[in-house]
């Protein structure tokens, strides 16, 4: 991180977190942020559910909810970018304040509640996008919807023609009872509807499922079974957590989903267990607490084919994506590993130990 980025982060951290986030997205959309371009290397090239990625380091959903800076973000060093979540109709989300920095814990708590401008607005921007790496959409449901399962299919029908993949997000803790859709029967029915819609697209795209880190062993086994028997293309593990174990920040009591460094171990263990349950039959994407190349490497060793980050950008800046990708490449070169895929799942057993 250079001196300019350090100064910019320091200035943003003097502002309310949500206002700072909005300014960061605006600066990106206006072309005011220097961008390195996608980091590429034969060692980093990744195949994920039919997608060709220049590197396995992606941007998680939530940073650019309305695809306002999607173009610049594809030139920020990431190997793939996910925007959203988008819902069928615009909605304001939960009352403010709803975003909190936990500096002492290198963490973030948010309770946004799927605030976004709606699927039509997001689709219009993505239709004009000149993307340099694969771009996906995170599918959400309106808070007041009578049929939330149907909402996911509606968003896919609207935005699917303009993206490279879509993620079914039933794991946000900030929309009441949304996580109930992770139950076996409900999840099977929801995915069937989404996949039926995917099959009507002129260009069918991969569909991913994003799960919570707070599932019990039985619930995780059910999710794994549904994932394998449905036709989804990958699982993202994991979303934010409701756990507050070990936090020091005065904001630790705020409601919402916790992300950042405290989530790393919990989410990586869920990832490793999911890899074991699916027996490597389904690509996995590791998310939660990644702030360095070593963190990313551990996710890959636990079973991830690719990773995503977001909260660490709050503390380390946007340049973190390119730094992680370059450092991963250097690690592979140092260890004589031809391609990052050769590491997938090689350290899973270590993460499964009590």
Helix axes 148-159, 184-198, angle to 10 degrees: 20
Instruction: Count CB-CB contacts under 10 A for residue 147.
Output: 12
213 contacts 248 by C-beta, under 8 angstroms: no
How far from 239 is each of 156, 172, 221, 330, CA to CA, in Å? 20, 7, 17, 29
Residue 129: CA count within 13 A, CB half-sphere: 31
Closest CA to 286 of 319, 308, 257, 311: 308
Measure the CA–CA gap between 201 and 207, rounded to whole angstroms: 12
| Cα angle value 343/347/352 (rounded, 5°) | 145
Closest CA to 318 of 23, 112, 19, 18: 23
292 is a catalytic site residue: no
Measure the CA–CA gap between 198 and 156, rounded to whole angstroms: 7
CB-based burial, 273-293: b 16+ in 10 Å, e otherwise: bbbbbbeeebbbbbbbbbbbb
Residue 340: CA count within 13 A, CB half-sphere: 34
Would residue 245 be called left, alpha or beta, if left means φ above 0 and alpha means ψ between -120 and 50 degrees? beta
Task: List the beta bridge partners of residue 135.
Answer: 81
How far from 67 is each of 86, 125, 128, 225, 239, CA to CA, in Å? 10, 6, 11, 33, 20
Closest CA to 16 of 128, 111, 96, 93: 96
Q: Which of 171, 172, 259, 267 is catalytic?
A: 172
| Active site members | 172
């Amino acid at each position: 991180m250079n001196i300019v980025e350090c100064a910019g982060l320091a200035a943003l951290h003097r502002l309310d977190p949500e206002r700072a986030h909005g300014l960061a997205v605006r600066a990106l959309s206006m072309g005011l942020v220097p961008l390195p371009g996608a980091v590429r290397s034969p060692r980093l090239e990744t195949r994920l559910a039919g997608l060709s990625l220049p590197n396995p380091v992606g941007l998680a959903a939530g940073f650019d909810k309305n695809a306002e800076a999607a173009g610049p973000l594809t030139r920020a060093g990431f190997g793939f970018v996910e925007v959203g979540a988008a819902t069928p109709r615009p909605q304001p989300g939960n009352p403010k304040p709803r975003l909190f920095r936990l500096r002492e814990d290198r963490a973030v708590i948010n309770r946004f509640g799927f605030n976004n401008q709606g699927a039509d607005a997001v689709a219009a921007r993505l239709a004009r996008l000149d993307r340099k790496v694969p771009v996906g959409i995170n599918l959400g449901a309106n808070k007041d919807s009578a049929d939330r399962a149907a909402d996911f299919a509606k968003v896919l029908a609207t935005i699917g023609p303009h993206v490279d993949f879509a993620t079914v997000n039933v794991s946000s803790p900030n929309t009441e009872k949304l996580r109930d859709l992770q139950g076996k029967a409900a999840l099977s029915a929801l995915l069937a509807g989404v996949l039926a819609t995917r099959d009507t697209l002129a260009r069918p795209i991969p569909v991913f499922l994003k799960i919570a880190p707070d599932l019990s062993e039985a619930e995780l086994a059910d999710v794994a079974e549904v994932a394998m028997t449905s036709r989804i293309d990958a699982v993202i593990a994991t979303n934010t957590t409701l756990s507050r174990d070990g936090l020091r920040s005065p904001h630790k009591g705020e409601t919402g989903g916790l992300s950042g460094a405290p989530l790393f171990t919990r989410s990586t263990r869920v990832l490793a267990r999911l890899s074991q349950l699916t027996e490597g039959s389904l690509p996995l994407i590791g998310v939660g607490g990644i702030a360095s190349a070593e963190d990313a490497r551990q996710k890959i060793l636990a079973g991830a084919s690719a990773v995503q980050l977001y909260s660490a950008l709050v503390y380390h800046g946007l340049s973190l994506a390119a730094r992680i990708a370059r450092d991963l490449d250097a690690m592979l070169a140092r260890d004589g590993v031809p391609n990052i895929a050769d590491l997938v799942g090689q350290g899973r057993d270590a993460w499964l130990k009590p």
